[in-house]
Structure 1
Amino acid sequence: MHLPVLPPLLPMLAKPVKGVPDPAKVGPMSFEPKWDGFRCVLFKDGDEVELASRNTKPLTRYFPELVAAARAQLPARCVLDGEILVAIGSRLEFEVLQERIHPAASRIARLAEETPARFVAFDLLALDDDSYLERPFAERRAALVDALGHLDASGPCHLTRTTEDPAVAAEWFHRFEGAGLDGVSAKPLSAPYTPNVRSMLKIKHERTADVVVAGYREHKTSTPERPLLGSLLLALHDADGTLQHVGVSASFTAARRAELIEELQPLVCPIGEHPWGAWQEWAVANPDRVPGTQSRWSQGKDLSFTPLRPERVLEVRYDAMEGRRFRHTAHFLRWRPDRDPASCGYDQLEQPVSYDLADVLGGA
C-alpha cells in the first residue's frame, strides 16, 4: 500500500462523561450515534483493502463482503475510521457479529451470506495523497461528507450522521437505543485526530438492577493461603421462576477480593443442591453461555465456579442488555439485604423503545 497513513494505527479513543456536554461550556462539538460493533480502521489503495481492529489486529479475512463493498463504494485511496456492524431486522446484534471471528474460512463465507456486515464511517484519516490527521474535525467531517455523501441506507458502507445541536444529541441518546446503539459520541470541532488518545467523549446508558448472587470464580492470583475472589456470578429469575445466569461483576481491589470471598463462605453449597446443578453435565458451549462451559473465546481458561445458595441480593450498575445477559461486566454498587431473591426478575429491567436501524442509517 502507498498511503499517507499506513497500518498499524491505533484509533483515537473516547473518555466517558455523564450527560451530553454543553458546547457553550466546553466549546463547539459534533455529536454522533455511538455504534455497537467492532471498531475498525479501513485502509484502501485501489483494490487493496485492509481492515484493522482497535488493537491493530487484522480483521480483513473475517469480512470478505466488506472488502468487496469497499472496492465498490469507497474512494480509490482512503483511510477511514469507523465501525463494523451486523444487523438482524431493525436492530444491531453484537453477539451475531462475534460469530464472524472464526478460524474456518467456510464458516466465514457462509455467515458473510447469511448475516452480512456493514461498515459505518465516522472519521477521515487520509484521502488520496493527503493525511487528515492534523486537520480539525470540522474539516475532516466536511471532506468525509464530500467523499461519502453518495452512500445511503442500502449499504453495506455508510456515512454516520452527525449534529452540532446538543438537544438533538440528547434525543438520539434515548431514541436510537431501541435500534441497538450504545449511546452518543462527541468530538471537538477544532481537535485533530490523535491516535490512541482519549480525545473524544462518550455518553453511554447506565442503569441499575437488583440481582441474585449465585456463585463466584476465584481470581487468577488466588492461593490456598490467601484466597481471592475474581468475579461474582449474577442471576435473575425468568417468568417461569428459573434462575438464569445474566453476567458477572468484577474489578475489585485485592483487599475487597479477600473480604468478599470470606464473606460468602457461609453460602457455599454442593453443586447438586444448586439451581444450576444440571449444568455440571454439560461439556460444550451453549447459547446461554452458562458458567463453567467452554466457548471458542475461553479455550484453556478455568471457568469452574463455586456455587452459592442464591440467598443474597446485590444492586449493580449496567449499561445495556444483550439478549438475556448484561452486555458488559456489571459494576458492584451495594448489597440489598432488604430484597427477597425471588423478587429479582427480568421484569425490573428497563426496555428501550423500539427503533428501526434503517432510520438511523438513512439519516446520515
Structure 2
Amino acid sequence: MHLPVMPPVKPMLAKAVHEVPRAPGLTYEPKWDGFRCIVFRDGDELELGSRNDRPLTRYFPELVELLRAALPDRCVVDGEIVVVTDDGLDFDTLQNRLHPAASRVKKLAEETPASFVAFDLLALGDRDLMGESFRERRRLLEGILSGALSRVHLTPVTEDPDLAQDWFTRFEGAGFDGVMAKPGDEPYEQDKRVMWKVKHERTADCVVAGYRMHKDGVGIGSLLLGLFDDEGRLHHVGVASSFTAARRKELVTELAPLRERALENHPWRDWAEAQTEAGGRMPGGVSRWTGTKDLSWEPLRTELVAEVRYEHVLSGRFRHGGRLVRFRADRTPESCTYGQLEEVAPAELAALFPEVTP
C-alpha cells in the first residue's frame, strides 16, 4: 500500500459542549454511535483502521467488499462503522462483531451485516487533503460517494443550526449520540479537539450495589449501578466513574460501612460467587479490546442511592459510563426503577438507511 496519507492516522477529535454551537461558518452532522474507522484503499488493498490503531479489517469482511465497490481506487476516508436495525443503531450487536474465531466472524457478517457512514476525505489519488478546508474535503467526498449505495452512506450535513437542533432531538430514539459541529474552513488535524460534540445528558437515581477499585489500587474507580424492573429485580445498568484522585480515596471511607454483610441478601450474590470461582473476574465481563483489564468488584449492601448523569440507554443499560452527581439520602432504593428513564420514540431511519425496513 502506497498512499499520500498512510496508516496509522489519529482521527480528529471533538470537545464536548452542552448546546448546539451557533458560530458563523460551522457545518453540522449527526453524531454516529459506532466504531470510528478510517478506510485506506490502494487498488485491491483495503484496510480498516480504528481510532486506537487496532485494525478492524478482519472483523468486517462484508464491508471490505462493499467499500471496494463504492470507493475510488486510491483514497483515505474517515467515517463510522454501525449496525442498523429497524429500531435504530445497535451498538451491542456491533460490539459482538469483534470475535476472535474466523468462523464466527463469517457467520456474524451474514447475520448482522455492518454499514459504513463516510464523513470526511483525507486523500484522493496522489493528493493529501488534510491541509485543505473541511468544506473542500466535503465537496470532494460528495463527488466520489453517492448517497444511494447499499450499506455505504454519506452522512447528511447542514449549515443550519436549527436543523441541527432538530436532528439532536428527533434522532435520539434511534440510537444517535447527538450532533457534531465542524469549522468549515479548518484543515484536518490529527488527534486534536477542533470540533464540537453535543451529546444527550440527563440524570437518574440508581442503587449503588458495589464498586470496582481504581487501577492504581488506592481508591474506588467506579460505582456499580442498578435499577429495579416492574417485578422488583435489580438489574445492573452501568457504572459511575471519572473521579478525582482525592474523591476516589474519600469513597473508600464513605462506602466502608456498606461492605459489612453485603452478600447476605445481595441481589447479585450468584454473580459475586461466580466471580470468586472464576478467580476474581466477572463472568462474561472481559472486554474484547482490553482482555487483561481487571473487572473484579466488591459488593455493597443495596441501601445507598446515587443521582447519576447519563447520556442515553441502550438495551436497558447506560450506553456510556455515568457520572456521579450526588448521593441522595432522601430517596429509597426501591424508588430507583426503570420507570424514571426518559424514553424517546425512534426516529424514522429509512431516509438515511435504505437497508432499513420502512
TM-score, normalised to structure 1, is 0.91
Q: Which residue of 1 aligns with 2:304?
A: 312
In the TM superposition, what is the alpha-carbon distance from 1:272 to its structure 2 partner? 3.3
Matched position secondary structure for 1:140:
helix
Unmatched 5+ stretches in structure 1: 285-290
In the TM superposition, what is the alpha-carbon distance from 1:283 to its structure 2 partner? 6.1
Moved over 6 A (4+): none
Matched position secondary structure for 1:271:
coil
Once the two structures are superposed, the pairs formed by residues 319-358 of structure 1 within 5 Å of their partners are 319-358=311-350
Q: Which residue of 2 aligns with 1:258?
A: 249
Q: Which residue of 2 aligns with 1:18?
A: 18
Picking from 193, 197, 212, the partner of 1:198 is 193
Question: Retained in 2: the 8 A contact 1:229–1:258?
Answer: yes
In 2 relative to 1, CA 299–82 (structure 1 residues): closer, same or farther, beyond 3 Å? closer
Identity fraction in percent: 56
Question: Retained in 2: the 8 A contact 1:293–1:303?
Answer: no
Q: Which residue of 2 aligns with 1:126?
A: 123
Picking from 236, 248, 270, the partner of 2:227 is 236
Question: Retained in 1: the 8 A contact 2:275–2:296?
Answer: no
Per mean C-alpha deviation after superposition, the further-off stretch among 92-101 and 294-303 is 294-303
Q: Establish whether residue 111 from structure 1 lines up as the match of residue 108 from structure 2.
A: yes
In the TM superposition, what is the alpha-carbon distance from 1:60 to its structure 2 partner? 0.7
Q: Which residue of 2 aligns with 1:68?
A: 65
In the TM superposition, what is the alpha-carbon distance from 1:39 to its structure 2 partner? 0.3
Give the counterpart letter for 2:284 in structure 1: Q
Q: Write the deviation string for residues 161-215 of structure 1: whole angstroms up to 9, x where unpaired.
A: 0000000000000101121111000111111111111111111100101111111
Cα distance in 2 for residues equivalent to 1:299 and 1:3: 33
Question: Retained in 2: the 8 A contact 1:90–1:358?
Answer: no
Give the counterpart letter for 2:39 in structure 1: L
Question: Retained in 1: the 8 A contact 2:239–2:322?
Answer: yes
Cα distance in 2 for residues equivalent to 1:203 and 1:295: 30
Cα distance in 2 for residues equivalent to 1:321 and 1:92: 12
Give the counterpart letter for 1:240 in structure 2: E
Question: Retained in 2: the 8 A contact 1:206–1:318?
Answer: yes
In the TM superposition, what is the alpha-carbon distance from 1:255 to its structure 2 partner? 1.9
Q: Which residue of 2 aligns with 1:276?
A: 268
Cα distance in 2 for residues equivalent to 1:181 and 1:233: 25
Matched position secondary structure for 2:352:
helix
In the TM superposition, what is the alpha-carbon distance from 1:159 to its structure 2 partner? 0.5
In 2 relative to 1, CA 312–283 (structure 1 residues): closer, same or farther, beyond 3 Å? closer
Per mean C-alpha deviation after superposition, the further-off stretch among 211-220 and 336-345 is 211-220
In the TM superposition, what is the alpha-carbon distance from 1:151 to its structure 2 partner? 3.2
Cα distance in 1 for residues equivalent to 2:41 and 2:293: 37
In 2 relative to 1, CA 207–146 (structure 1 residues): closer, same or farther, beyond 3 Å? same
Q: Which residue of 1 aligns with 2:211?
A: 216
Matched position secondary structure for 2:350:
helix
Matched position secondary structure for 1:9:
coil
Question: Retained in 2: the 8 A contact 1:212–1:234?
Answer: yes
Per mean C-alpha deviation after superposition, the further-off stretch among 2-11 and 301-310 is 301-310
Question: Retained in 1: the 8 A contact 2:286–2:295?
Answer: no
Question: Retained in 2: the 8 A contact 1:30–1:164?
Answer: yes
Question: Retained in 1: the 8 A contact 2:236–2:317?
Answer: yes
Matched position secondary structure for 2:30:
strand
In 2 relative to 1, CA 264–185 (structure 1 residues): closer, same or farther, beyond 3 Å? same
Q: Which residue of 1 aligns with 2:35?
A: 38
Question: Retained in 1: the 8 A contact 2:129–2:137?
Answer: yes
In the TM superposition, what is the alpha-carbon distance from 1:254 to its structure 2 partner? 2.2
In 2 relative to 1, CA 270–17 (structure 1 residues): closer, same or farther, beyond 3 Å? closer
Q: Which residue of 1 aligns with 2:155?
A: 160
Question: Retained in 2: the 8 A contact 1:206–1:319?
Answer: yes
In the TM superposition, what is the alpha-carbon distance from 1:293 to its structure 2 partner? 2.1
In 2 relative to 1, CA 179–50 (structure 1 residues): closer, same or farther, beyond 3 Å? same
Question: Retained in 1: the 8 A contact 2:263–2:301?
Answer: no
Give the counterpart letter for 2:139 in structure 1: A
In the TM superposition, what is the alpha-carbon distance from 1:7 to its structure 2 partner? 0.9
Cα distance in 2 for residues equivalent to 1:96 and 1:139: 35
Q: Establish whether residue 28 from structure 1 lines up as the match of residue 25 from structure 2.
A: yes
Question: Retained in 2: the 8 A contact 1:178–1:356?
Answer: no
Pairs aligned (count): 347
Cα distance in 2 for residues equivalent to 1:308 and 1:11: 40
Question: Retained in 1: the 8 A contact 2:241–2:322?
Answer: yes
TM-score, normalised to structure 2, is 0.93
RMSD: 1.7
